[in-house]
Amino acid sequence: MTAEVIAARMAGPWARTTLDGEGQSLTLGVTLTATQTLIGDVVLFLHSLEHRGGEIGYVMHPDHGGHGVRHRGGRGAAAPGL
C-alpha cells in the first residue's frame, strides 16, 4: 500500500471515530509500543444495533505473528462496541 493510498483512506473511511449506525466500521491502527511502528489494523463492523451484532477483522504484518498482537487488537476493537 502506498503513502498516497493510506493518506486517502485516513481522510475517508479510516477517519471515523465513532459507531452510531448500522453498516458502519471503525478502523484502528495497531502499532508497536516501543517504536510506534504501524504493523496492522483492526476493524470493528457494526451490523445490527437491535441485536448488538458486529464483526471484527484484522490484518497484521506476518513478522509480528505469535506474540498475541491479533488477540489484543481484537479485544481492543471490541471494547468500543460493547
Under the banding of pLDDT at 50, 70 and 90, the label for residue 82 is very low
Query: Which stretches of the chain are DSSP H helices?
Result: 3-11, 69-78
Residue indicated by cell numbers 481484537:
74
Residue indicated by cell numbers 477483522:
57
pLDDT tens for 8-17 read: 888 987 888 8
Q: Which pTM does this prediction carry?
A: 0.68
Enumerate the domain spans of the chain.
Answer: 3-81
51 exposed, middle or buried (CB, 10 Å; 0-12, 13-18, 19+)?
Answer: exposed
